[in-house]
Copies of this chain bind each other. A is one copy, B any other.
Amino acid sequence: MSGKKRIWVAITARPSYSRIRSALESLQRREDVELSILCSGSALLDRYGRVIDLIRADGFRVVDELYTFVEGDDLVNMALTMAATTNHTAAALHRGKPDVVVTIADRYETMGTAVAAAYLGIPLIHVQGGEITGNIDEKVRHAITKMADMHFVSTALAGNRVARMGEAPCSIHVTGCPSVDLARESADVSVVDLQAVLDSLGTGAHVDIEQDFLVVMQHPETDAHGESFSQMATVLDAVNQLAIPAVLFWPNVDAGSDGTSKAIRMFRERGGDDKIRFIKNLEGRQFLALLRQSQCLIGNSSVGIRESAYLGVPVVNIGDRQLGRERCNNVIDVACKTDAIFGAVRAQVNHGRYASSTLYGDGFAGDRIAALVAGETPDTRKRFHDV
């Protein structure tokens, strides 16, 4: 009707939104595009910070909100949630018939978006394929690559892998990761404002971000289902012994997240938290400004690999969750043991800031992605590209 290209971006969880936000802002500014966000899964849930409210507050149009999260602390819940996501996303796409669907990264529900779009014959763009990690995400990520018609990857090596998997070279674009755009922009956040935000959000100790402090972000490992509790307990133990103030983020949703949350709750109930501030959720740029300000990031989040490379923040990466991901020299990998974590953090705090790296992008991925999405629509009739 309007002649505008109708783009739907599927957001199923808070981290996906943080990651893609700069591209959304760039798309929103374009005249030739009608941008809509399709929210489902944990994006609608209080327990995971209801990023849908943030998306609306940021001025984006939410075309549909799909409750698809089947609660439970068992592996089967991932499959059931994926099925519900496929089911309701398919119905929404059938109704709305967008020109293109964009899906981000590799969370288990994102497969539901990918399947729905592919089966309905709607061109599917995948952001952040071709990387390597260490759990169910690994299978999901590459399977989505094989469902998708166009690929925006973060690194040259990731692009090579996507090509090896049989995707046509012309469908692969090394855009860099849009999450690095936020890292670049986070330089604009005032430390005073950030301190105020931190003080007003969350619970626990006051942490002065102009002094030394750590950031802790530990997600449950889905392969090591059941060990989430003890892993988080170990991390908390190490942080406690370090006796440096810390800002800790509640975990994202996954099978096992209840174990992680429980470890945090028990730690608090035992009173081990007198130097820690607990945060459920922080706006993306603010989070990265916090990271930029910190002495060290501890945990198993991909932020330690990607945005931290650009920021030059020292990282202690725990366990196998990021195994296989390309990384810069700002990362020390350790097993999930108190002593190992303690020692590595001490070393990183002593080392201080690293040089900034553009391995995962130069901070302008969003505009590149927006231009490509708004450009030529990929053909959905693809075939394995033999070399």
Contact = CB atoms under 8 A, between A and B. Distances in A.
Interface of A: 44-47, 64-80, 82-84, 86-91, 93-95, 108, 111-112, 115-116, 118-121, 132, 134-136, 138-139, 142-147, 161, 164-166, 203, 223, 225, 258, 269, 323-324, 380-384, 386-387
B94 A91 contact: no
Nearest to A135: B381
A76 B89 CA distance: 10
Nearest to A224: B381
A71 B69 contact: yes
Give the dominant DSSP class at A's interface: helix
A79 B116 contact: yes
Chain multiplicity (copies): 4
A94 to B, nearest CB: 4
A82 B147 CA distance: 14
Interchain residue pairs A-B with the least CB separation, the first 3: A79-B90, A83-B87, A83-B86
A124 B236 CA distance: 36
B83 A384 contact: no
15 contacts: A45-B72, A46-B73, A67-B77, A70-B70, A70-B71, A75-B119, A78-B119, A83-B83, A83-B87, A84-B84, A108-B119, A121-B136, A138-B383, A164-B164, A223-B380
A67 B74 contact: yes
A111 B115 contact: yes
Given A164-B166, A223-B121, A71 B75 contact: no
B225 A138 contact: no
Contacts of A95: 64
A82 to B, nearest CB: 6
Nearest to A384: B132
B86 A72 contact: no
A145 to B, nearest CB: 7
Contacts of A89: 79
A106 to B, nearest CB: 11
Contacts of A269: 203
A171 to B, nearest CB: 13
